[in-house]
Chains A and B, each alone.
Chain A
Amino acid sequence: MDLLEYQGKQLFARHGIPVPSGKPARTVEEAVAAADEIGYPCAVKAQVQIGGRGKLGGIKIAANKDEAREHAQAILGMDIKGLTVYEVWIEGASQIASEYYASIVFDRSAKAPLVMLSTKGGMDIETVSEEDPDAIAHLHVDPLIGFQDFHGRQLAFDAGVDADVVRPVGAFLKQLYNTFVAEECLLVEVNPLIITPERTLTALDAKVTLDNNSLFRHKDNAELRDLSGEDPQEKMAHDRGLTYVKLEGNIGILGNGAGLVMSTLDVVKGAGGEPANFLDAGGGSKAEAITSAVEVILSDSKVQAVLFNIFGGITRCDEVANGLIEAFSLLNPSVPFVVRLDGTNDKEGRQILADANLPNVYTEATMDGAAAKVVELAKAA
């Protein structure tokens, strides 16, 4: 789960990482009140999870109340690369002497946290890494030992930070690492990490990705939401505990197991079709889950045909067939379904479907055949 900037900053603040004081606001009135409380000049920042919002007018400095109102009016509701701005974050404007970059990623390749530090903050770090790779200091930390003071010194010297801030930068990185571990993050990124004229450090931006699998023991984090990024179908699927990703096409897809569903999307695309979604009904796939999944798929009005691709392992094809029959009796779908059942109890499943004689349901024996059929039906629709 990716956090908005202000959610990340609030999380940082809980762990003692210096951030500018600020307040989130969802209306112009709230924004103006927040600006008054924080004082001027202050920054009005659009809260969306996309880079480059500053260049698109999503960050503005307000010198007084009128400007705060004007900026909040302009930014709330604006569209930034397809995302609507529902929230702004008002924070005190900062004085900047230097802009650094700091991040920690969960490096799955090295199987250890990777800490990065650069004095070339404020710009896109991928550009820095392409143009001047030596400008970024890297260090893998053994998670069994944790971040030690020497790690901080090593990174600070490697990155070539100003001599007077070597210790504060090291201390900052240690706090950042401890936050990364305590909150079970997959990414924490601070860009820019600023050095003020008074030579203190402040995290001026915050990018945080949390591990969804750990949210059960971080109740506060589990409740954080990003209104701007929420798609209605994805929200519906999430509420029902289904793994669903919305795509652009018109062929609804349901399968069991992430790899098989991904493969199904590829095969459908290869057959000339455009998948409308990724939906993994998971192991087991009991009747209730199938009904729920069909409902989510059909709630996307673009869907003109649906493909069920089931290879039964733990999942039993007869249960899937019964689930589909139940879904039809509840939902009366108007689009055609192509069903491919293979694996555990496949013959029983196919027989159940044949006996039920559902309208507009086609059964296919192979994945390739099923993909070809559903593409044909979607094109005819």
Chain B
Amino acid sequence: MSILIDKNTRLVTTGITGSEGRFHTLRNRDYGTNVVAGVTPGKGGQNVDGIPVFNTIAEAVDKQGANTAMIFVPPPFAADSILEAEDAGIELIIAITEGIPAHDELRAFQVIKKNGRSRLVGPNCPGILSPDKANVGIIPATFFKPGNVGVVSRSGTLTYQVGNELALSGFGNSSIVGIGGDPVPGTDFIDVIGLFQNDPETELIVMCGEIGGDAEEKAAEFIGEHVTKPVVGYIAGFTAPPGKQMGHAGAIVSGSHGTAAAKAQALEAKGVRVGRTPTEVAQIAMEILGK
């Protein structure tokens, strides 16, 4: 099994006629993802390498049965696209776009929460990969094979780094989920860790956090109460100075809040072993699963 995306995924990409949207949608299709539609307002009736393009997401749902949307439109229009997907009844919305205004993101999050019919992953995330089943987003799938380690991360390239260390140690993955580096992620560590806990194929959960916010601390509480599977943590930004935004909009230590040390402590207090380097994460995974 895997979580969130698999062979039942029917993907629609918004912004499919842009260069990035097109490139990654076709890569996702090459991997085996069932891409059923694209949306670009005003370009309905065209196609992108055989993928039919519609003017609205509602049409893509109606005509092609899309159940998952990948948002690839530029930041000024991305929150609108997320809300359109929600309105069209899309179950899973994966927003890749980086740089969405925080207040836009907040409104989109609150609408999705209030209506309770869609899940948003991202924004500013690399997407989700369920090896050999489906890939939605920009994760370089060639490095990963199916297996029993579930990975959830706030950062794209760090996920590849940690995933690669795990792969070199012989591990495969049930799913790899990028939740994104923005201040208001649609899906948090807790949500994904809960899904991995209930996924029979996942035997070990790796979570990669970073400085800023309190998502890792909340995850620690959740793990202490609800998770029986082993969890290995990694936190980036131990040496980040306070008050400086380290690339991601969400990666900032405010005063004494959001430090890597505090996050690692919170996790360790709940029995989560935290690797100090990506290499150490793979070593701990080996010790736990006895490879």
Residue of B nearest to A214 (CB): B101
B239 touches A213 (CB 8 A): no
Listed residue (B157, B161, B250) with the most chain A CB atoms within 10 angstroms of its CB: B157
Which has the most chain A C-beta neighbours within 10 Å: B75, B104, B138, B278? B278
B111 touches A144 (CB 8 A): yes
User: Any chain B CB within 8 A of the CB of A263?
Assistant: yes
**A264 vs B191: C-alpha distance in the bound complex, in angstroms?**
28
Stretch at the interface among A20-28, A103-111, A328-336: A103-111
Residues of B within 8 A of A (CB): 75-76, 99-104, 106-107, 109-111, 113-114, 126, 138-140, 143, 153-161, 164, 181, 183-184, 208, 210-211, 213-214, 218, 234, 236-241, 244-251, 255, 260, 276-279
Known contacts A258-B246, A367-B278; is-contact A313 B156 (Cβ 8 Å): yes
**With A214-B102, A367-B279 in contact, is A260–B255 under 8 Å at CB?**
no
CB distance A257 to B238 under 8 Å? no
10 A–B contacts from the bound complex (CB under 8 Å): A143-B103, A181-B103, A213-B75, A258-B181, A259-B156, A259-B158, A263-B277, A269-B239, A278-B240, A342-B161
Q: Are B238 and A266 closer than 8 Å at their CB atoms?
A: yes
- Contact pattern, A 248-263, Cβ under 8 Å of B = 1, otherwise 0: 0000000111111111
What 8 A-B pairs have minimum CB-CB distances, sorted nearest first?
A259-B155, A258-B247, A257-B157, A259-B158, A214-B101, A260-B157, A262-B236, A108-B183
Across the interface, do A266 and B158 meet the contact criterion of CB distance under 8 Å? no
Judging by beta carbons under 8 Å apart, are B110 and A111 in contact? yes
**What is the CA–CA distance of A143 and B110 in the complex, to the nearest angstrom?**
8
**A142 to B111, alpha carbons, bound, how many Å?**
10
**A213-B102 CB under 8 A given contacts A259-B158, A278-B247:** yes
A125 to B279, CA, bound (A): 42
Q: With A and B bound together, what is the CA distance between A111 and B247 in angstroms? A: 21
- B-facing mask of A335-376, CB < 8 A → 1, else 0? 000000011100000000000000000000011100000000
Contact A263 B158 (CB under 8 A): yes
Q: Which bracket fits the contact residues of A?
A: 35 or more
Interface centre among B100, B211, B249, B250 (most CB of A within 10 A): B249
Q: Tell me the interface secondary structure of chain A in the complex.
A: mixed
A144 and B240 form a contact (CB under 8 A): no
The chain A residues found within 8 Å of chain B, CB to CB, are: 106, 108-109, 111-113, 126, 142-144, 181, 184, 186, 211-214, 216-217, 243, 245, 247, 255-263, 265-267, 269-270, 275, 278, 280, 283, 311-315, 342-344, 366-368
Q: A275 to B239, Cβ gap below 8 A?
A: yes
Decide: A257 near B156, CB < 8 A? Known: A106-B183, A211-B101, A270-B276: yes
A256 to B157 alpha-carbon distance, docked (Å): 7
> Known interface pairs A257-B157, A262-B211, A263-B161. Does A144 touch B247 (Cβ–Cβ under 8 Å)?
no
A106-B107 Cα distance, complex, nearest whole Å: 12
Cβ–Cβ contact A343 & B101, under 8 A: no
- Contacts of B143 on A, CB cut-off 8 Å? 343
CA distance A113 to B161 in the complex (A): 35
Whole-angstrom distance between the Cβ of B165 and the nearest chain A Cβ: 9
Determine the chain B residues whose CB is within 8 A of the CB of A184 once the complex forms: 101-103
B100 near A213 with CB under 8 A, answer yes
> Closest CB-CB distance, A276 to chain B, in whole Å?
12
How far, in whole Å, are A245 and B253 apart by their CA atoms in the complex? 14
B138–A109 CB distance below 8 A = no
B245: chain A residues within 8 A (beta carbon): 245
CA of A44 to CA of B207, assembled, Å: 51
Q: Are B76 and A262 in contact (CB under 8 A)?
A: no
- Complex CA distance for A247 and B104, rounded to whole angstroms: 32
Residue B158 contacts which of A106, A111, A212, A257 (CB distance < 8 angstroms)?
A257
The residues of A that contact B103 with a CB separation of less than 8 Å are 106, 143, 181, 184, 211, 214
Contacts of B109 in A (CB 8 A): 111
Inter-chain contacts of B250 with A (CB < 8 A): 108
Closest to A265 in B: B239
